[in-house]
Structure 1
Amino acid sequence: MTNVLILGASGAIARHVIEFLHGNDAINTTLFLRNPAKLRDLNTTGMAIVEGDVTDTAALARAMQGQDLVYANLTGDMEVMARSLLDAMHQTGVKRLIFVTSLGIYDEVPGAFGEWNRREIGAYLPPYRAAADLIEASGLDYTILRPAWLTDRDEVEYETANRNEPFKGTEVSRKSVAAYVITLLRDPAEDIGGNIGLNKPGTDGDKPAFM
């Protein structure tokens, strides 16, 4: 059995991951978040729920004891949270990490969409890039995810691009990102050291269709 700790468990992508994991007897799940009440509408039967803040390294390390894999889907001060997370992982000896950032942190989005993306979110990307740089230098068995602009479509359809490849497409569903995370939870050896862009095929354009 794989012991998985989910950080930011009330987030929109993480909620899909939790739904996928419900009833999975091969994965033992612990949910870590600041406000457990946000999970009341989800079926979390059999999952442990821990109230805490990722920036509280001591609390995070306590929750991390005995875990095999950490999946982090966070918002806020990404660099500060990444430092606390990495400190806790080094303290506890947990090696496997899945960490969600954003497209555009390497200026890897080409063409008109890349220019639009920089105008829209460029000012918000440096903390995500800093977090990714810390993770890549950590010595951990990481996979960094860089999803395209997110939709709430009820679909699983995605393709991937590596760190040094131009980003493809403009959007992807949150459910698709969750499905990719599930593939890593089921096979933690997959895509170790990967820095993966995720998008829905056929969504190339100057900006996401919903904008």
Structure 2
Amino acid sequence: MRIAIAGAHGQIGLRLGSLLAGRGDLVVGLHRKPEQEQALRAAGVSPSLLDLEATTVDELGDAIDGCDAVVFAAGAGPGSGLARKDTVDRAAALLLADAAERAGVRRYVLVSSTGVDRVRDGATPDGMDDVFVAYLRAKLAAEDDVRGRDLDWTVLRPGRLTDEPGTGSVTLSDAVQYGDVPRDDVAAVVVALLDEPRSAGLVLELVRGDVPIRQAVADAVR
């Protein structure tokens, strides 16, 4: 397969690119800064320098032309303000969907977050800071938009991300108890979802667990 990853320089994107390239897929890594190119090439990913907050749908469409799938793994990241939660976590995800439609790339995997339903209908959970509320609202808006498109989309909602080594086993379902999950396992689940056409049209939540990843995906699509 030929797969484009938005946010390929990020911690999940780089892991995902390495997994895909390692098994022989052609991976296009969309990234923001020239200095990120070396790490992408070392992972076997072909860099494509594009700032998702500044590029056009035509430029992005050209970058993903010929791909079999796109993955949105970008995020504004810790320390970013309210504005970038919207421009990255929402607007860039929608721009990638626009470009996918224009380029004829039907498969779209959106990495979102658990907890987005807590802010649906403008709700503000007690004790949650404004920036995290903005992050969840941006992710929710991206989900709602992508789910309304004529794409073979899958939404993956990981729990709290950790840098612990992946275990290869997870809990994956339409609703899970809140918990954490290693970024390694998130990347491996995205690979398994890309390989499973029946995951299209599903919203799945992900935390650490004891079910091997391939089995967890097979169970989730039944």
Q: How far apart, in 1, do the equivalents of 2:49 and 2:39 lie?
A: 17
| Equivalences for residues 1-211 of structure 1 within 5 A | 2-25=1-24, 27-41=25-39, 43-45=42-44, 47-55=45-53, 56=55, 57-76=57-76, 77=87, 78-107=89-118, 119=128, 121-156=132-167, 157-162=169-174, 165=175, 167-185=176-194, 187-201=195-209
Q: Deviations over 1:74-114 (max 9, x none)?
A: 11322211221121111111100011111111129xxxxxx
- SS at structure 2 position matched to 1:32: strand
CA contact (8 A) 1:150 1:174 kept: yes
Q: How far apart, in 2, do the equivalents of 1:89 and 1:99 lie?
A: 12
CA contact (8 A) 1:12 1:174 kept: yes
Q: Which has the higher contact order (CA 8 A, sep 6+)?
A: 1
Q: How far apart, in 1, do the equivalents of 2:134 and 2:43 lie?
A: 36
CA contact (8 A) 2:114 2:178 kept: no
Structure 2, unaligned stretches of length 5 or more? 77-86, 120-124, 211-222
Once the two structures are TM-superposed, the CA of residue 49 in structure 1 deviates from its matched residue by 1.3
- SS at structure 2 position matched to 1:31: strand
Q: Deviations over 1:105-139 (max 9, x none)?
A: 1129xxxxxx68x6253343111110000000011
- SS at structure 1 position matched to 2:113: coil
Question: What is the count of residue pairs matched by the alignment?
Answer: 188
Once the two structures are TM-superposed, the CA of residue 169 in structure 1 deviates from its matched residue by 3.7
Q: Residue type matched to 1:196 in 2?
A: L
CA contact (8 A) 1:96 1:188 kept: no
Q: How far apart, in 2, do the equivalents of 1:91 and 1:6 lie?
A: 17
Structure 1, unaligned stretches of length 5 or more? 109-114, 203-211
Once the two structures are TM-superposed, the CA of residue 12 in structure 1 deviates from its matched residue by 0.5
- SS at structure 1 position matched to 2:150: coil
Q: How far apart, in 2, do the equivalents of 1:199 and 1:12 lie?
A: 17
Q: How far apart, in 2, do the equivalents of 1:48 and 1:79 lie?
A: 25
CA contact (8 A) 1:32 1:49 kept: yes
TM-score, normalisation: structure 1: 0.81
Q: Please state which structure has a larger fraction of its residues in helix.
A: 2
Q: How far apart, in 1, do the equivalents of 2:157 and 2:38 lie?
A: 28
CA contact (8 A) 1:145 1:195 kept: yes
Sequence identity (%): 28
Once the two structures are TM-superposed, the CA of residue 161 in structure 1 deviates from its matched residue by 1.9
Decide whether aligned partners of structure 1 residues 87 and 22 sit closer, same or farther in structure 2, where only a CA change above 3 A counts.
closer
Q: Which runs of 4+ in 1 moved over 4 A?
A: none
Q: Residue type matched to 2:108 in 1?
A: L
TM-score, normalisation: structure 2: 0.77
- SS at structure 1 position matched to 2:197: coil
Q: How far apart, in 2, do the equivalents of 1:44 and 1:123 lie?
A: 32
> RMSD in angstroms over aligned alpha carbons?
2.1
CA contact (8 A) 1:143 1:192 kept: yes
